[in-house]
């Protein structure tokens, strides 16, 4: 599969598995899993022909490891980033003392007042390393990285979860847990 087709197909799979399963005429189970046969049939009907081998290749090579197969390889789901309600069944996990969130300057006035909100996704996405947060912020402009006092939040009773590819999830970050923004390019 050439890289253009891989990107196009992986975007469509993200749309179906995180946002709009009906686009491929399928439903997700409560943990977000899609039956692969139904998914591939649905993709074909929606005009995106994807073979089983291509799906497996995308799961394996996706730059952000966005997708996962179940143990017997019959189902696939997105690892994070859902807009539709799913329960990823991740255990609450103690986070490192500090986590990072990448954003852009134009959102800072709102973030400073109301904290980080999950917006249209389930959770606020955080990363252990600053470089990842910077890349996430850079999708929207000159990146600004916020440091989150995750250890203190955890001690105060907030539940953190971590996906198996290292994205930290928390429903919200109130402003008192945010450090001063780092906007160094
Ligand atoms: C901002 C991508 C105003 C927040 C990425 C962000 C990541 C606020 C945007 C993953 C706010 C939401 C997640 C508030 C937060 N007022 N703006 N109170 N609170 N925001 O895309 O973190 O390619 O839902 O800073 O690489 O940017 O989809 O979240 O700018 O890993 O796999 O509102 O999505 O991965 O945007 O990105 P998003 P995100 P994928």
**Directed axis angle between helix 3-14 and helix 52-61, to 10°?**
90
**pLDDT tens, residue by residue, 70-109:** 999 999 999 999 999 999 999 999 999 999 999 999 999 9
- Answer with the one of 17, 48, 78 that is the final residue of a domain: 78
pLDDT band at 182 (very low <50, low <70, confident <90, very high): confident
Q: How far is the CA of 56 from the centre of ligand 1 (A)?
A: 27
pTM: 0.91
The answer to whether position 14 is within a domain reads yes
**Does one domain contain both 177 and 103?**
yes
Supply the residue whose CA is at minimum distance from atom 27 of ligand 1: 136
Closest by alpha carbon to 170, among 129, 123, 117, 115? Answer: 123
- Answer with the one of 78, 107, 139 that is the final residue of a domain: 78
**Does one domain contain both 127 and 52?**
no
**Does one domain contain both 14 and 70?**
yes
Q: How confident is the model at residue 184, as a pLDDT?
A: 61
**Does one domain contain both 64 and 124?**
no
Q: How far is the CA of 51 from the centre of ligand 1 (A)?
A: 31
**CATH assignment at residue 127:** 3.20.170.30
181 lines ligand 1 (CB under 6 A): no
The answer to whether position 93 is within a domain reads no
**pLDDT tens, residue by residue, 45-73:** 999 999 999 999 999 999 899 999 999 99
136 lines ligand 1 (CB under 6 A): yes
C-alpha 1/C-alpha 5 separation (Å) is: 6
Closest ligand 1 atom to Cα of 103: 25
The answer to whether position 88 is within a domain reads no
The answer to whether position 134 is within a domain reads yes
127 lines ligand 1 (CB under 6 A): no
103 lines ligand 1 (CB under 6 A): yes
Closest by alpha carbon to 104, among 179, 167, 182? Answer: 182
User: In the chain, where do the E strands start and end?
Assistant: 34-35, 67-69, 75-78, 99-104, 116-117, 124-126, 143-148, 161-162, 168-170, 172-173
Q: How far is the CA of 106 from the centre of ligand 1 (A)?
A: 13
146 lines ligand 1 (CB under 6 A): no
Q: How far is the CA of 111 from the centre of ligand 1 (A)?
A: 12
Domain that holds residue 112: 99-184
Q: How confident is the model at residue 183, as a pLDDT?
A: 64
What is the domain count for the chain? 2
**pLDDT tens, residue by residue, 147-162:** 999 999 999 999 999 9
The answer to whether position 91 is within a domain reads no
């Amino acid at each position: 599969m050439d890289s253009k087709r891989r990107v196009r197909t992986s975007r469509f799979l993200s749309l179906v598995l995180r946002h709009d399963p009906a686009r491929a005429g399928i439903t997700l189970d409560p943990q977000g899993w899609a039956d692969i046969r139904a998914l591939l049939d649905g993709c074909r009907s929606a005009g995106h022909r994807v073979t089983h081998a291509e799906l497996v290749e995308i799961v394996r090579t996706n730059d952000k490891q966005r997708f996962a197969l179940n143990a017997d390889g019959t189902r696939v789901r997105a690892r994070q980033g859902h807009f539709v309600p799913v329960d990823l069944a991740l255990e609450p996990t103690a986070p490192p003392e500090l986590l990072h969130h990448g954003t852009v300057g134009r959102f800072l006035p709102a973030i400073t007042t109301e904290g980080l909100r999950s917006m249209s996704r389930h959770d606020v996405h955080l990363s252990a390393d600053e470089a990842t947060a910077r890349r996430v912020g850079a999708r929207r402009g000159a990146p600004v990285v916020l440091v989150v006092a995750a250890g203190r939040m955890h001690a105060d009773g907030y539940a953190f979860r971590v996906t198996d590819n290292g994205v930290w999830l928390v429903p919200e970050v109130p402003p008192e847990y945010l450090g001063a923004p780092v906007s160094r390019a």
